[in-house]
Structure 1
Amino acid sequence: MTDRQEATISDADRADARALWDFHQMGHELRPCSAAIALGSLDLGVAGAAADLYHAGMFPVVAFTGDTSGATRERFPRGEAVHYREHALSLGVPDEAILLESKATNTGQNIGFSREVLENAGVAVTTVLLISMPYMQRRAYATCRKLWPEVEPVCVSQPLSFDEYVTTHADEKQLIDMVMGDMERVMEYPKRGFAIEQHVPERVRDAFDRLRVRGYDSWLLPA
């Protein structure tokens, strides 16, 4: 992070970002599930969390899902799912416990294509552990409930606060932009039929609006 970036981020910005961050956490009680889906992103910690949860006996099989995007192409040139799989293997997850879905380019495809991969592998799913970046939990949940209503999703990610997660990210401004992007999608995607509606408290909407006015908008939906 540069000095210029550091200077533009105020304590008020961080307080509002924390409000969104906390809202994105679903607070689900961790429990064993029929299978897991690890949603592709630029955060290799998702694959690390999947490995930890596998070793803890939370699921027998995981589908790593994701192609590449503009945000991940440089870091994961062979695809998010491929790099996730390799990282999980290096952490002791056996190959037979891993399924690969390497075509998805959005959250809806992450869920839908992973469902197909699991069904084709003969995995009967009644509960699914959705493993994602911390600020993606709520969007993953809403998407799964819309596209796969027969299963019960349990959302989980690395147990990190906003302040802890910032230390893993090179650009705090970009991170807040990304948190804003997920927040807008939680609010807007139900109108487009991509996700279920969720109640968003007024204080969270107010934090979102303040951050948008302050210029945290590079990951918002096109007008």
Structure 2
Amino acid sequence: MIDERARRLARIVHDHLILTTPLAPSDCLLVLGSHDTRVAEHAARLWHEGWAPRVVLSGGRGKITSAWSETEAAVFARVAVAHGVPEDALLLEETASNTGENITASRALLADRGIAVRRGILVTKPYMTRRGLATARRQWPEVEWLSAAPDLAYEAYDDERQLIELLVGDLQRMVVYAERGFQVPMPVEESAWAACEELAGMGFDRHVISDLKGR
């Protein structure tokens, strides 16, 4: 059971990690693979709305999807096609195992196809939008990056413990990966960092890289 204090702290971290932007016509939707296929459904909606002509689905297998029989990109492609996106609008990048590789491997795939990208829309889980933007702006800085996510509240996730563990790991990475040069630095609110540290201390530390660093 998740007690009310842990839930309150997790909501603080969750809300801080969300950073969506206004959308504008773009060259591609870059969809970051994960265990949540609602992201692929949202990408299909954005394609139908005409925000970009191409949908790049990036993802091999990650920490949650390692046991899947298919890559994240393949699973997301089936969902997108089921929601009316034609196969010729899709490009699959099936090697990435983390957010940085989502960006760098997709960049290489599009370059190999001779497809220029000046503006792109990252499509991911709500609580991955801030870190996704920070990563893309470091790993592919020539592109103007926007971000979008399905409208999912904290309560929309079935496995609350898994969610909290992911939130703690992702907020830690906002700080540690910026220090290591993998992402552009973004301010982290003191309240969010304190909540993250307390949650890690409560045992929600499955995805923590190492001991949480002080800021």
Matches within 5 A, 1:112-123: 112-123=104-115
Conserved 8 A contact 1:187-1:197: yes
CA contact (8 A) 2:20 2:130 kept: no
Q: Does 1:79 align with 2:71?
A: yes
Structural mapping, 1:25-174, within 5 Å = 25-74=18-67, 76-163=68-155, 165-166=156-157, 169=158, 171-174=159-162
Q: Is 1:125–1:151's contact at 8 Å kept on the other side of the alignment?
A: yes
User: By how many angstroms is 1:124 displaced?
Assistant: 1.9
Equivalents in 2 of 1:179, 1:70: separation in Å? 14
- Structure 1: how far apart are the matches of 2:81 and 2:142? 30
Aligned length: 211
1:31-76 CA-partner distances (Å, limit 9, x unpaired): 22111110111111111111011011111001101111341133x3
Equivalent pair of 1:101/1:117 in contact (CA under 8 Å): yes
**Counterpart secondary structure, 2:146:** strand
Aligned to 1:3: none
| Aligned-partner SS, 1:154 | strand
Identity in percent: 36
CA contact (8 A) 2:44 2:83 kept: yes
Q: Tell me the amino acid that sits aligned with residue 194 of structure 1.
A: F
Q: Tell me if the contact between 1:180 and 1:217 (Cα under 8 Å) persists in the aligned partners.
A: yes
Of residues 10, 14, 29 in structure 2, which corresponds to 1:17?
A: 10
Please name the residue that 1:218 is paired with. Answer: 206
What is the deviation of 1:29? 1.1
Q: Which runs of 5+ in 1 are unaligned?
A: 1-5
Given that residues 35 and 62 in structure 1 are in contact (C-alpha distance below 8 angstroms), is that contact kept between their aligned partners in structure 2? yes
Q: Look up the SS of the partner of 2:172 in the other structure.
A: helix
Partner of 1:201: 189
Report runs of 4+ in structure 1 exceeding 3 Å deviation.
none
- Distance (Å, rounded) in 1 between the aligned partners of 2:84 and 2:114: 23
Letter of the 1:56 partner, please give it: E
CA distance in 2 between partners of 1:79 and 1:222 (Å): 28
Contact 1:68 1:77 in 2 (8 A): no
- Take 1:79 and 1:51, find their aligned partners in 2: how far apart are those partners? 18
TM-superposed CA distance for 1:205, in Å, is 1.0
| Contact persistence 2:120–2:146 (CA under 8 A) | yes
TM-score normalised according to structure 2 size = 0.94
AA aligned opposite 1:59: A
Q: Which runs of 5+ in 2 are unaligned?
A: none
Answer yes or no: is the 8 Å Cα contact 1:34–1:59 preserved in 2: yes
Which residue number corresponds to residue 179 of structure 1? 167
Cα distance in 1 for partners of 2:69, 2:25 equals 32
- Report if the CA contact (8 A) 2:31-2:43 is conserved: yes
Q: TM-score scaled by structure 1?
A: 0.90
